[in-house]
Every structure is written in structure tokens, then in C-alpha cells.
């Protein structure tokens, strides 16, 4: 299995989402999955913000692009190829101010490309990432599980679902570690243990033959 592993926490080794994403990969290996990992640390290799040149180039038909436009899109082309080449994607990130880290947003802006990750056809949009298993691993300070008073403030889950549905990911899986900050110590430990159990379960599922 070729796995694209993306981390987006601004923190280093002590990050919850990075620790849990490493745990998930260990679980896959323990389940006997033959893994090739394509790793991207968005804290180091941060895709650029959308620029005017990018906006013009991306919506120009590939046959009509100038050399300059092609150059503008080159890094995004390469990132799209990495995602499309993967059999599975692990996207690990903390919640920042109710949504995703800005580095992960620039990643989405780079991989959402007409005639590459989605086709704009007369019948409508046809996302191309239909083959990939996708797991979103998120870490949150608050407890935003259904039934909790702050649950409505989770703008991360719907944003990820919408952005990836557009490029063809219809059934992503989510493991959300919460509450990891705004809670008593026992609740944090429980949240981490719950996340590890859920990750082990997803690893077992991914290890099943297709």
C-alpha cells in the first residue's frame, strides 16, 4: 500500500496529532500491511497561498497555458500527482480556531485542480480521488462530540468533508482525539486512549484484502 502521510501540526515531536499519526502507521505495519510511505510535513513544505497568477493559470485550459502559467502550476501539479499516486491518505492535523491549520488549507488549494483531481464535464464535476482510502486524524482542545454544548462549533469536519468530496473522496474516515486541552487530565488520557483504539480499528480494516 502506498500511503501519503501528511502532518500539519505547528508543533514538533510532542504534537498529539503527529504522535497519533505515527501510532496509526505502526498499527498498519503490525497488521502486516506492506507500506510505502510518502511523507509530507506541511510545517516544513508549506504550499504557497493562492496568487493571482495561480488563479488565472488554473482555470486556463491546459492546451492554452503559457510557459509562465505552466511554471506557476508546477508545484501544484507535482502535489496532485503525489495524492493521485497514493492508494491511501492519512491527513493528521490539529483544530485551529474551529477549522483546519492554514497550512492544510494551502494543501487543499494546491490539490484541488481542474482537469487533474476533478473533471469539469457537461454532466457535472467528477472527482478523481475515488480509489484512495482517506483517514482524517484530528486533535482538538475542546470536546466537540455530538451532544456536547460546543459541538456546533466544529467547522473542521464539514470543511474537510466538502473539500475532499469535490475531488472524489466520498467516504472518508475520521478519528478525532478530543478533548486534549480544555479538560481534566483524566479526560485527556481517556481521549488519547479512545483515539488509539479507533486508529487500531481503522488499521485492522485497512489491512483486510480489498
Q: Which residues are annotated as a binding site?
A: 9, 15-17
Number of H helices, E strands in the chain: 6, 7
* Cell matching residue 180: 486534549
Do the Cβ atoms of 139 and 16 come closer than 8 Å? yes
Is 28 or 156 the residue whose CB approaches ligand FMN more closely? 156
Binding flag, residue 6, ligand FMN (CB under 6 A): no
Residues 142-181 that bind ligand FMN (CB under 6 A): 142, 180-181
114: which DSSP letter? B
Q: Which residues contact 17 (CB under 8 A, 6 or more apart)?
A: 7, 8, 9, 92, 93, 94, 137, 138, 139, 177
Binding flag, residue 5, ligand FMN (CB under 6 A): no
Is 133 or 188 the residue whose CB approaches ligand FMN more closely? 188
Residues 120-139 that bind ligand FMN (CB under 6 A): 139
Q: How far is CA 44 from the centre of its chain?
A: 16
Is 97 or 120 the residue whose CB approaches ligand FMN more closely? 97
Binding flag, residue 195, ligand FMN (CB under 6 A): no
**Per-residue contact track with ligand FMN, 96 to 115, x per CB under 6 A?**
xxx-----------------
Q: How far is CA 104 from the centre of its chain?
A: 7
Binding flag, residue 9, ligand FMN (CB under 6 A): yes
Binding flag, residue 16, ligand FMN (CB under 6 A): yes
Kindly provide the b/e burial profile for residues 2-20, where b requires at least 16 CB atoms within 10 angstroms of the residue's own CB. Answer: ebbbbbbbeeeeebbbbbb
Collapsed DSSP state (helix, strand, coil) of residue 163: helix
Binding flag, residue 17, ligand FMN (CB under 6 A): yes
Is 57 or 95 the residue whose CB approaches ligand FMN more closely? 95
Binding flag, residue 11, ligand FMN (CB under 6 A): yes
Binding flag, residue 91, ligand FMN (CB under 6 A): no
Binding site for ligand FMN (CB under 6 A): 9, 11, 15-18, 94-98, 139-142, 180-181
Amino acid at each position: 500500500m502506498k500511503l501519503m502521510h501528511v502532518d500539519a501540526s505547528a508543533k514538533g515531536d510532542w504534537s498529539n496529532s503527529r504522535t497519533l499519526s505515527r501510532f496509526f502507521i505502526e498499527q498498519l505495519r503490525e497488521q502486516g500491511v506492506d507500506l510505502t510511505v510518502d511523507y509530507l510535513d506541511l510545517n516544513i513544505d508549506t504550499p504557497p497561498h493562492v496568487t493571482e497568477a495561480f488563479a488565472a493559470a488554473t482555470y486556463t485550459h491546459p492546451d492554452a497555458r503559457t510557459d509562465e502559467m505552466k511554471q506557476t502550476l508546477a508545484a501544484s501539479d507535482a502535489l496532485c500527482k503525489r495524492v493521485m499516486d497514493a492508494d491511501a491518505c492519512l491527513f493528521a492535523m490539529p483544530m485551529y480556531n474551529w477549522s483546519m491549520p492554514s497550512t492544510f488549507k494551502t494543501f487543499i488549494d494546491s490539490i484541488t485542480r481542474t482537469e487533474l483531481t476533478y473533471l469539469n464535464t457537461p454532466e457535472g464535476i467528477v472527482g478523481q480521488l475515488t480509489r484512495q482510502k482517506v483517514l482524517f486524524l484530528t486533535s482538538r482542545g475542546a470536546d466537540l462530540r455530538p451532544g456536547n454544548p460546543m459541538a456546533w462549533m466544529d467547522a473542521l469536519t464539514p470543511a474537510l468533508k466538502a473539500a475532499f468530496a469535490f475531488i472524489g473522496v466520498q467516504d472518508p474516515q475520521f478519528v478525532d482525539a478530543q478533548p486534549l486541552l480544555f479538560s481534566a487530565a483524566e479526560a485527556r488520557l481517556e481521549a488519547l486512549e479512545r483515539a488509539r483504539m479507533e486508529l487500531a480499528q481503522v488499521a485492522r480494516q485497512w489491512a483486510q484484502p480489498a
